[in-house]
Amino acid sequence: MRTLLHHLPALFTGWILMLASALSSAASPQWATLDWTLVETLIALDAPLSGVAQIDAYHAWVDKPRIPDTAIDLGLRTQPNLELLADLAPDAIFISPMFSHLTPRLSRIAPVESLPLYQADSDTWQEMQALTRKLGEHVDREKQAESLIAETMALINRLKARVSPTAPLLMVQFMDERHVRVFGENGLYHAVLEQLGIANAWQAPTNAWGFSLVGLEGLAAYPDAQLVVVEPLPVGVEASLAESGLWQQLPSVREERVITLPPLWSFGALPSAQRFARTLVSALEAQHDD
């Protein structure tokens, strides 16, 4: 008893210290994530990020929203640097199911949450909203999540009113001068088109991320479609297309009505969807005005 009494002051201060540190970490919890789609959503929700995988590549391919400078690069998405991650000690690590084989390792550092998007045979638009809500819960930003969803819906409705009737769109991204990805069902672009009430010309099967890989000759089967090319064009492709007999024969190309969109992350969530919807509708309007 005496010993306990003797230790009481020390125990008490220890308890105070623990409480203080708990409070301070509760004041600014930090999150880490390996998945760019989760990154853009977390930034949109204004959740502080301490570690993100492949920041430079994110800025090259997703671009916006920008990752705050305070976040530290964790290395490759498939092999985040564990020593560094342990040093950062985030409150939770968010991954997509694609990286779930890392869970045993990552969970030694912090709780791991796996959040799915782009699963086969599910409605992408619904999935994106569900993902936003779930992330909101995990980072205590339910309100921001709801307002991100509401803001997206409002934007879509505004844009929908501006869309005038158009031919079905054939959305492609060049891989090299002979091959393109065509975006269809299961994908971000397709989901946005559906919301905007625009038809997608590509009805052939797509993978879980919503695209098919085809040779350029595959586009000839859709002479009536409006071609939409999503940048970036690989170097040299423009020159080879000028010499490509087949490309020059495509009605959209012959009539010089190909629409070009700036680079956009094609596997993103609501922030990418907003950007795509905005740029697409402006491009369609610009063409309509010509």
Partner 1 sequence: MTTKELKRYQPTVLTLLLAALAAGLAVSALLPVTLSEAISLIWVLETPLMPTFAVVHFSFWPRLAMALLAGAGLGLAGVLMQQVLRNPLASPTTLGVASGANLGLMAATLFVPELLFWGREWVALAGGAAAMGGVFLLAWRSDLAPAVVVLAGLVMNLYAGALGMVLLLFHQEALKGLLIWGAGSLSQNGWSDLEFLWPRLLFGALAAALLLRPLQLLTLDDASARSLGASLKALRFGGLGVAVFITACVVSVVGIIGFIGLAAPNLARLAGARRLGERVMYSMLLGGLLLASTDLALQQIPGMLPTLIPTGAATAALGAPLLLWLITRLSLTTPHVSRGLPPHVASHLGRRSAVLMGLTLLSIVIALLLGQRASGWFWAGLESIDVLQWRWPRLLAAAGSGVLLALAGTLLQRVTANPMASPEVLGISGGSAIALIGAIYALPSPSPAMLLGAGTLGALVTLGILILFNYRSGFTPSRLLLTGVAITALFDAVRAFILAGGDPRGQQVLAWLSGSTYYTTPAGAIGIAVIAALGVALTLLFSRWLAILPLGGEASTAIGLPLRHARLSLLTLVAFLTASATLVVGPLSFVGLLAPHLAKMLGFQHARAHLLGGALVGALIMTSADWFGRQWLFPQEIPAGLVASLIGGAYFMWRLARI
Q: Is 50 helix (H, G, I), strand (E, B) or coil?
A: strand
Looking at residue 152, its amino acid is T
State the minimum distance, in angstroms, from the CB of residue 251 to partner 1.
Answer: 8
State the DSSP H helix or E strand holding residue 271, giving kind and residue range, or none if neither. helix 270-289
State the minimum distance, in angstroms, from the CB of residue 94 to partner 1.
Answer: 15
State the minimum distance, in angstroms, from the CB of residue 217 to partner 1.
Answer: 4
Return the residue matching tokens 């550092």. Answer: 109
232 neighbors 224 (Cβ within 8 angstroms): no
Please say which residue, 58 or 125, places its beta carbon nearer to partner 1. Answer: 58
Length of the chain, please?
A: 290
List 179's β-bridge partners, or say none: 215
Q: Which residues lie near partner 1 (CB under 8 A)?
A: 57, 60-61, 72-84, 86-88, 97-101, 104, 108, 114, 119, 174-179, 181, 204-209, 211-218, 220-221, 223, 234-236, 239-240, 243-247, 249, 254, 267
State the minimum distance, in angstroms, from the CB of residue 254 to partner 1.
Answer: 7
State the minimum distance, in angstroms, from the CB of residue 114 to partner 1.
Answer: 7
Please say which residue, 131 or 281, places its beta carbon nearer to partner 1. Answer: 131
CA 35 – CA 52 distance, rounded (Å): 8
SS3 of the chain: helix, strand, coil, percent, to 5:
50, 15, 35
State the DSSP H helix or E strand holding residue 19, giving kind and residue range, or none if neither. helix 2-27
Please say which residue, 176 or 231, places its beta carbon nearer to partner 1. Answer: 176
State the minimum distance, in angstroms, from the CB of residue 174 to partner 1.
Answer: 8
Please say which residue, 84 or 155, places its beta carbon nearer to partner 1. Answer: 84
72-73 sheet: strands from edge to edge: 72-73, 49-52, 31-33, 92-95, 112-114
Please say which residue, 106 or 145, places its beta carbon nearer to partner 1. Answer: 106
Please say which residue, 82 or 163, places its beta carbon nearer to partner 1. Answer: 82
